[in-house]
Amino acid sequence: MKKLKLFSLLFFLAFTATQAQKLTQTIRGSVKDHDGKFPLIGANIIVLDATPIKGTSVDVDGNFRFDNMPMGRVNLKLSYTGYEDRYI
């Protein structure tokens, strides 16, 4: 009987460990011109470390957002016509 209880406990612990929730983060920010401080509407933002590659565009207020990104550091590439690419 003790072996059955021990086996059941170990099975339960192993099952819950495999069903654990993955930690995610939200990445958000804004893109504005350095001198004029106006939003760069439509600027492209790409997450370089993501597989598959994830990207978005800046909205009319200059804001962007990535939801459900894995925890950790992220490298972004910002590009906009007429400006040099920026890596963050």
Distance, CA of 1 to CA of 7 (rounded, Å): 10
Higher-confidence residue of 3 and 86: namely: 86
Structural domains of the chain ordered from first start: 22-87 (2.60.40)
Distance, CA of 31 to CA of 20 (rounded, Å): 35
Global pTM exceeds 0.85: no
Mean pLDDT of the region 30-48: 95
Q: What is the DSSP letter of 45?
A: E
34 token code pair: 């350095």
Q: Does residue 62 have a pLDDT over 80? A: yes
- Cα–Cα nearest to 83, from 38, 50, 47: 38
